[in-house]
Amino acid sequence: MNQQLQVFHDNAEEELNALQSIAQTMGNIDTRIQQLHQGLQIAQEQMARLDRHSAPLLHLLREPVSTAP
């Protein structure tokens, strides 16, 4: 009976370790998702700033060039 209890204990301990590993991995995934969201937000802000700064230049490039005699 002691041997059966030891086997049960060992199995329970292995399962607990596996669950702890899964929980840690999920925490790491959540952290990575937050980092990616922040990176996406920064990239979107940079794109918007680039659009604002490049708009006047693009407007000038689209204007027809007049040839003065």
Q: What is the pLDDT of residues 13-41, one digit of tens each?
A: 999 999 999 999 999 999 999 999 999 99
Is the residue at 45 inside a domain? yes
pLDDT over 70 at 67, yes or no: no
User: Quick one: pLDDT band at residue 69, thresholds 50, 70, 90?
Assistant: low
CA distance 62 to 69: 22
Is the residue at 11 inside a domain? yes
Between CA 27 and CA 32, with CA 28 as vertex, the angle to 5 degrees is 120
Which range marks the domain in which residue 16 is found? 1-52
φ, ψ dihedrals at 63, nearest 5°: -70, 140
Q: In this structure, what token pair is assigned to residue 40?
A: 């996406």
Domain count, the chain: 1
- pLDDT of amino acid 10: 95
Is the residue at 66 inside a domain? no
